[in-house]
Structure 1
Amino acid sequence: MEKNQRIKYGSLIADMRRIRHITQRELASLSGVSYANISRIELGKYSPGLDVIQRIEDALGIERIYVTKNNIIMGTPDFFLLGSTDNLKFLKVLQVLPCFKMVEISKDKTIISAIWNEDYEMEYDEPEIEIEALLANQNWCCGDPEEYPAGSKCWWYIMDLEPEDR
Protein backbone atom coordinates (compact mmCIF):
# COMPACT_ATOMS: atom_id res chain seq x y z
CA MET A 1 0.00 0.00 0.00
CA GLU A 2 1.45 3.41 -0.99
CA LYS A 3 2.02 6.06 1.67
CA ASN A 4 -0.97 8.16 0.47
CA GLN A 5 -3.22 5.10 0.51
CA ARG A 6 -1.96 4.12 3.98
CA ILE A 7 -2.80 7.60 5.25
CA LYS A 8 -6.29 7.55 3.66
CA TYR A 9 -6.98 4.05 4.96
CA GLY A 10 -5.71 4.91 8.45
CA SER A 11 -7.79 8.08 8.53
CA LEU A 12 -10.88 6.14 7.45
CA ILE A 13 -10.31 3.49 10.14
CA ALA A 14 -9.95 6.26 12.75
CA ASP A 15 -13.14 7.97 11.52
CA MET A 16 -15.13 4.72 11.52
CA ARG A 17 -13.82 3.88 15.00
CA ARG A 18 -14.83 7.32 16.33
CA ILE A 19 -18.25 7.16 14.66
CA ARG A 20 -18.83 3.89 16.52
CA HIS A 21 -17.49 5.42 19.78
CA ILE A 22 -14.71 2.84 20.11
CA THR A 23 -11.26 3.69 21.51
CA GLN A 24 -8.05 2.41 19.91
CA ARG A 25 -7.59 0.05 22.84
CA GLU A 26 -11.14 -1.31 22.42
CA LEU A 27 -10.57 -1.81 18.68
CA ALA A 28 -7.32 -3.61 19.47
CA SER A 29 -9.15 -5.90 21.90
CA LEU A 30 -12.07 -6.54 19.50
CA SER A 31 -9.83 -7.21 16.49
CA GLY A 32 -6.93 -9.02 18.13
CA VAL A 33 -4.55 -6.47 16.58
CA SER A 34 -2.12 -4.84 19.01
CA TYR A 35 -2.87 -1.34 20.28
CA ALA A 36 0.48 -0.14 18.87
CA ASN A 37 -0.40 -1.42 15.40
CA ILE A 38 -3.89 0.15 15.51
CA SER A 39 -2.24 3.47 16.34
CA ARG A 40 0.37 3.07 13.56
CA ILE A 41 -2.32 2.08 11.02
CA GLU A 42 -4.45 5.14 11.87
CA LEU A 43 -1.40 7.40 11.49
CA GLY A 44 -0.56 5.83 8.11
CA LYS A 45 2.78 4.54 9.39
CA TYR A 46 2.00 0.83 9.01
CA SER A 47 0.72 -1.12 6.03
CA PRO A 48 -1.37 -3.98 7.43
CA GLY A 49 -1.69 -7.33 5.70
CA LEU A 50 -5.05 -8.63 4.47
CA ASP A 51 -5.58 -10.73 7.61
CA VAL A 52 -5.15 -7.66 9.84
CA ILE A 53 -7.41 -5.56 7.61
CA GLN A 54 -10.09 -8.28 7.77
CA ARG A 55 -9.93 -8.45 11.58
CA ILE A 56 -10.25 -4.65 11.88
CA GLU A 57 -13.15 -4.57 9.41
CA ASP A 58 -14.93 -7.34 11.33
CA ALA A 59 -14.42 -5.51 14.63
CA LEU A 60 -15.85 -2.29 13.14
CA GLY A 61 -18.76 -4.11 11.47
CA ILE A 62 -17.59 -3.15 7.97
CA GLU A 63 -18.11 -5.66 5.19
CA ARG A 64 -15.17 -4.65 3.00
CA ILE A 65 -12.79 -1.77 2.35
CA TYR A 66 -11.05 -1.47 -1.01
CA VAL A 67 -8.20 1.00 -1.28
CA THR A 68 -8.00 1.84 -4.97
CA LYS A 69 -5.73 4.18 -6.87
CA ASN A 70 -8.14 7.12 -6.58
CA ASN A 71 -10.40 6.43 -3.63
CA ILE A 72 -11.56 4.17 -0.86
CA ILE A 73 -14.65 2.03 -1.36
CA MET A 74 -16.41 0.48 1.60
CA GLY A 75 -19.33 -1.85 1.86
CA THR A 76 -21.34 -0.77 4.88
CA PRO A 77 -24.82 0.74 5.36
CA ASP A 78 -23.18 3.90 6.69
CA PHE A 79 -21.25 4.63 3.50
CA PHE A 80 -22.50 6.09 0.22
CA LEU A 81 -20.88 6.48 -3.19
CA LEU A 82 -22.54 9.12 -5.35
CA GLY A 83 -22.20 10.70 -8.77
CA SER A 84 -23.82 13.70 -10.39
CA THR A 85 -23.96 15.83 -13.51
CA ASP A 86 -21.71 18.37 -11.77
CA ASN A 87 -19.68 16.75 -9.00
CA LEU A 88 -18.04 19.97 -7.81
CA LYS A 89 -21.39 21.72 -7.25
CA PHE A 90 -22.82 18.52 -5.78
CA LEU A 91 -19.87 18.16 -3.39
CA LYS A 92 -20.51 21.66 -2.01
CA VAL A 93 -24.14 20.76 -1.31
CA LEU A 94 -23.29 17.44 0.35
CA GLN A 95 -20.61 18.96 2.57
CA VAL A 96 -23.15 21.19 4.32
CA LEU A 97 -25.85 18.55 4.79
CA PRO A 98 -26.01 17.51 8.47
CA CYS A 99 -26.75 13.88 7.57
CA PHE A 100 -23.12 13.30 6.52
CA LYS A 101 -20.12 13.17 8.81
CA MET A 102 -17.50 13.09 6.04
CA VAL A 103 -17.78 13.88 2.33
CA GLU A 104 -14.88 13.52 -0.14
CA ILE A 105 -14.38 13.56 -3.90
CA SER A 106 -12.04 11.15 -5.67
CA LYS A 107 -8.87 12.52 -7.26
CA ASP A 108 -10.32 12.02 -10.72
CA LYS A 109 -13.46 13.91 -9.54
CA THR A 110 -15.82 11.15 -10.73
CA ILE A 111 -16.98 9.71 -7.39
CA ILE A 112 -18.17 11.37 -4.20
CA SER A 113 -18.05 9.31 -1.02
CA ALA A 114 -19.88 10.12 2.19
CA ILE A 115 -20.20 8.59 5.65
CA TRP A 116 -23.58 8.85 7.35
CA ASN A 117 -23.74 10.89 10.55
CA GLU A 118 -25.30 8.55 13.13
CA ASP A 119 -26.22 11.55 15.32
CA TYR A 120 -28.43 13.02 12.59
CA GLU A 121 -32.16 12.73 13.35
CA MET A 122 -33.99 11.54 10.24
CA GLU A 123 -37.51 12.39 9.14
CA TYR A 124 -37.76 9.19 7.08
CA ASP A 125 -37.04 5.56 7.98
CA GLU A 126 -34.27 4.93 5.43
CA PRO A 127 -31.10 7.00 4.84
CA GLU A 128 -31.57 6.72 1.07
CA ILE A 129 -35.04 8.30 1.27
CA GLU A 130 -33.73 10.97 3.64
CA ILE A 131 -30.91 11.84 1.21
CA GLU A 132 -33.34 12.06 -1.71
CA ALA A 133 -35.64 14.39 0.26
CA LEU A 134 -32.79 16.62 1.42
CA LEU A 135 -31.37 16.89 -2.08
CA ALA A 136 -34.79 17.50 -3.63
CA ASN A 137 -35.05 20.53 -1.31
CA GLN A 138 -31.82 21.74 -2.96
CA ASN A 139 -33.38 21.21 -6.45
CA TRP A 140 -31.31 18.10 -7.21
CA CYS A 141 -33.14 15.25 -8.98
CA CYS A 142 -32.22 11.60 -8.43
CA GLY A 143 -32.08 9.36 -11.47
CA ASP A 144 -30.53 8.64 -14.82
CA PRO A 145 -28.91 11.78 -16.28
CA GLU A 146 -30.23 10.83 -19.73
CA GLU A 147 -33.77 11.43 -18.43
CA TYR A 148 -33.06 15.09 -17.61
CA PRO A 149 -32.24 18.00 -19.92
CA ALA A 150 -28.62 19.11 -20.35
CA GLY A 151 -27.51 21.26 -17.44
CA SER A 152 -29.97 19.66 -14.98
CA LYS A 153 -28.84 19.05 -11.43
CA CYS A 154 -29.07 15.26 -11.37
CA TRP A 155 -27.42 12.81 -8.98
CA TRP A 156 -27.31 9.03 -8.54
CA TYR A 157 -25.87 6.25 -6.38
CA ILE A 158 -22.80 4.47 -7.68
CA MET A 159 -23.18 0.73 -7.13
CA ASP A 160 -21.40 -2.50 -7.93
CA LEU A 161 -17.93 -0.99 -8.12
CA GLU A 162 -15.03 -3.38 -8.44
CA PRO A 163 -11.67 -2.63 -6.86
CA GLU A 164 -9.00 -1.47 -9.33
CA ASP A 165 -6.02 -2.18 -7.09
CA ARG A 166 -5.76 -3.80 -3.73
Structure 2
Amino acid sequence: MDRRQEILTLIKTLGISINHLAGQLGLKTHTLNYLLHDSSALDDELYAQIKEALDNYQYELRLFDNDEKDTLDLFDEDEQHQFMGERIRLFARRKFGTLKKLADAMEISPQQLQQYISGKREPGSRILMKFLKLGCDLNWLLGGRESNESYRIQKLEARIKELTKGLEETSEKINKLLGNQNR
Protein backbone atom coordinates (compact mmCIF):
# COMPACT_ATOMS: atom_id res chain seq x y z
CA MET A 1 0.00 0.00 0.00
CA ASP A 2 1.50 3.32 -1.02
CA ARG A 3 1.14 6.58 0.91
CA ARG A 4 -1.81 7.83 -1.10
CA GLN A 5 -3.74 4.58 -0.61
CA GLU A 6 -2.86 4.61 3.11
CA ILE A 7 -4.22 8.15 3.51
CA LEU A 8 -7.41 7.39 1.54
CA THR A 9 -8.01 4.21 3.55
CA LEU A 10 -7.52 6.05 6.85
CA ILE A 11 -9.91 8.81 5.75
CA LYS A 12 -12.56 6.24 4.91
CA THR A 13 -11.88 4.13 8.02
CA LEU A 14 -12.06 7.08 10.40
CA GLY A 15 -15.12 8.47 8.64
CA ILE A 16 -13.53 11.90 8.36
CA SER A 17 -14.94 14.23 5.72
CA ILE A 18 -12.62 15.70 3.12
CA ASN A 19 -14.05 19.14 3.95
CA HIS A 20 -13.04 18.78 7.60
CA LEU A 21 -9.58 17.46 6.75
CA ALA A 22 -9.02 20.24 4.21
CA GLY A 23 -10.00 22.81 6.86
CA GLN A 24 -7.53 21.27 9.34
CA LEU A 25 -4.77 21.52 6.74
CA GLY A 26 -5.69 25.04 5.64
CA LEU A 27 -6.48 23.88 2.11
CA LYS A 28 -9.53 24.18 -0.09
CA THR A 29 -11.50 20.98 -0.47
CA HIS A 30 -10.96 20.72 -4.22
CA THR A 31 -7.20 21.24 -3.72
CA LEU A 32 -7.00 18.40 -1.21
CA ASN A 33 -9.10 16.18 -3.50
CA TYR A 34 -6.71 16.91 -6.36
CA LEU A 35 -3.67 16.15 -4.20
CA LEU A 36 -5.16 12.88 -2.97
CA HIS A 37 -6.62 11.61 -6.24
CA ASP A 38 -5.03 13.26 -9.27
CA SER A 39 -1.66 14.70 -8.32
CA SER A 40 1.39 12.71 -9.35
CA ALA A 41 3.30 13.34 -6.13
CA LEU A 42 2.45 13.37 -2.45
CA ASP A 43 5.48 15.01 -0.83
CA ASP A 44 6.84 14.11 2.61
CA GLU A 45 5.70 17.34 4.27
CA LEU A 46 2.08 17.09 3.08
CA TYR A 47 1.99 13.39 3.95
CA ALA A 48 3.22 14.17 7.49
CA GLN A 49 0.67 16.97 7.90
CA ILE A 50 -2.20 14.77 6.72
CA LYS A 51 -1.12 11.92 9.03
CA GLU A 52 -0.91 14.33 11.97
CA ALA A 53 -4.37 15.74 11.21
CA LEU A 54 -5.79 12.21 10.97
CA ASP A 55 -4.12 11.18 14.23
CA ASN A 56 -5.48 14.29 15.96
CA TYR A 57 -8.97 13.68 14.53
CA GLN A 58 -9.46 10.64 16.74
CA TYR A 59 -9.24 12.84 19.84
CA GLU A 60 -11.72 15.48 18.73
CA LEU A 61 -15.18 15.25 20.25
CA ARG A 62 -17.56 15.06 17.32
CA LEU A 63 -21.06 15.63 18.64
CA PHE A 64 -22.91 16.75 15.54
CA ASP A 65 -21.39 14.93 12.59
CA ASN A 66 -24.11 12.29 12.47
CA ASP A 67 -25.68 14.31 9.65
CA GLU A 68 -23.69 12.28 7.12
CA LYS A 69 -24.98 8.90 6.01
CA ASP A 70 -23.02 5.88 7.20
CA THR A 71 -21.23 4.61 4.10
CA LEU A 72 -20.36 1.21 5.55
CA ASP A 73 -22.51 -1.40 3.84
CA LEU A 74 -23.12 -4.03 6.50
CA PHE A 75 -23.79 -6.68 3.88
CA ASP A 76 -20.53 -6.22 2.00
CA GLU A 77 -18.43 -8.48 4.20
CA ASP A 78 -15.16 -8.04 2.26
CA GLU A 79 -15.32 -4.28 2.76
CA GLN A 80 -16.33 -4.67 6.41
CA HIS A 81 -13.37 -6.99 7.11
CA GLN A 82 -10.99 -4.65 5.31
CA PHE A 83 -12.07 -1.73 7.44
CA MET A 84 -12.04 -3.80 10.62
CA GLY A 85 -8.52 -4.87 9.72
CA GLU A 86 -7.48 -1.25 9.31
CA ARG A 87 -9.06 -0.38 12.65
CA ILE A 88 -7.23 -3.28 14.32
CA ARG A 89 -3.96 -1.95 12.85
CA LEU A 90 -4.79 1.55 14.06
CA PHE A 91 -5.64 0.28 17.57
CA ALA A 92 -2.41 -1.71 17.70
CA ARG A 93 -0.32 1.28 16.58
CA ARG A 94 -1.97 3.74 18.98
CA LYS A 95 -2.09 1.54 22.07
CA PHE A 96 0.76 -0.96 21.69
CA GLY A 97 3.04 0.40 18.99
CA THR A 98 3.17 -2.85 16.99
CA LEU A 99 0.91 -5.68 15.93
CA LYS A 100 3.24 -8.15 17.67
CA LYS A 101 2.77 -6.39 21.01
CA LEU A 102 -1.01 -6.40 20.50
CA ALA A 103 -0.93 -10.13 19.71
CA ASP A 104 1.15 -10.74 22.85
CA ALA A 105 -1.28 -8.70 24.98
CA MET A 106 -4.19 -10.69 23.52
CA GLU A 107 -2.29 -13.94 24.10
CA ILE A 108 -2.70 -15.03 20.48
CA SER A 109 -0.13 -15.59 17.75
CA PRO A 110 0.77 -12.76 15.37
CA GLN A 111 -0.40 -15.05 12.54
CA GLN A 112 -3.85 -15.37 14.11
CA LEU A 113 -4.07 -11.60 14.52
CA GLN A 114 -3.03 -11.17 10.88
CA GLN A 115 -5.91 -13.41 9.83
CA TYR A 116 -8.36 -11.05 11.56
CA ILE A 117 -6.71 -8.07 9.92
CA SER A 118 -6.81 -9.60 6.44
CA GLY A 119 -10.42 -10.76 6.88
CA LYS A 120 -9.58 -14.45 6.51
CA ARG A 121 -11.12 -15.06 9.95
CA GLU A 122 -13.84 -13.28 11.86
CA PRO A 123 -13.14 -12.47 15.50
CA GLY A 124 -15.50 -14.42 17.74
CA SER A 125 -16.79 -13.38 21.12
CA ARG A 126 -13.62 -14.57 22.91
CA ILE A 127 -11.38 -12.39 20.72
CA LEU A 128 -13.77 -9.44 20.91
CA MET A 129 -13.71 -9.68 24.71
CA LYS A 130 -9.92 -9.56 24.59
CA PHE A 131 -10.08 -6.39 22.50
CA LEU A 132 -12.57 -4.93 24.98
CA LYS A 133 -10.38 -5.77 27.99
CA LEU A 134 -7.44 -4.06 26.27
CA GLY A 135 -9.46 -0.86 25.95
CA CYS A 136 -10.70 -1.12 22.37
CA ASP A 137 -14.14 0.36 21.72
CA LEU A 138 -16.05 -2.50 20.09
CA ASN A 139 -18.55 -0.10 18.50
CA TRP A 140 -15.63 1.53 16.71
CA LEU A 141 -13.91 -1.76 15.90
CA LEU A 142 -16.99 -3.36 14.38
CA GLY A 143 -18.76 -0.35 12.90
CA GLY A 144 -16.36 2.55 12.67
CA ARG A 145 -18.15 4.84 15.12
CA GLU A 146 -16.61 5.76 18.45
CA SER A 147 -18.62 6.39 21.59
CA ASN A 148 -18.06 9.39 23.84
CA GLU A 149 -16.64 7.05 26.49
CA SER A 150 -14.05 5.85 23.99
CA TYR A 151 -13.11 9.46 23.29
CA ARG A 152 -12.65 10.14 27.01
CA ILE A 153 -10.57 7.00 27.47
CA GLN A 154 -8.33 7.92 24.54
CA LYS A 155 -7.83 11.42 25.92
CA LEU A 156 -6.95 10.00 29.35
CA GLU A 157 -4.58 7.43 27.86
CA ALA A 158 -2.84 10.14 25.84
CA ARG A 159 -2.54 12.27 28.98
CA ILE A 160 -1.15 9.29 30.96
CA LYS A 161 1.48 8.69 28.26
CA GLU A 162 2.40 12.37 28.33
CA LEU A 163 2.68 12.43 32.13
CA THR A 164 4.63 9.16 32.20
CA LYS A 165 7.12 10.53 29.71
CA GLY A 166 7.50 13.69 31.79
CA LEU A 167 7.96 11.62 34.94
CA GLU A 168 10.64 9.50 33.27
CA GLU A 169 12.48 12.62 32.07
CA THR A 170 12.27 14.17 35.54
CA SER A 171 13.51 10.94 37.12
CA GLU A 172 16.48 10.84 34.75
CA LYS A 173 17.38 14.45 35.59
CA ILE A 174 17.12 13.77 39.32
CA ASN A 175 19.34 10.70 38.97
CA LYS A 176 21.89 12.73 37.03
CA LEU A 177 21.87 15.46 39.66
CA LEU A 178 22.23 12.94 42.48
CA GLY A 179 25.01 11.20 40.57
CA ASN A 180 26.86 14.51 40.18
CA GLN A 181 26.50 15.32 43.91
CA ASN A 182 27.94 11.97 44.97
CA ARG A 183 31.16 12.60 43.07
Tell me the TM-score normalized by structure 2.
0.36
User: Of the two, which has the highest radius of gyration?
Assistant: 2
Tell me the TM-score normalized by structure 1.
0.39
Q: Tell me which protein shows more helix as a share of its residues.
A: 2
Q: Tell me which protein shows more strand as a share of its residues.
A: 1
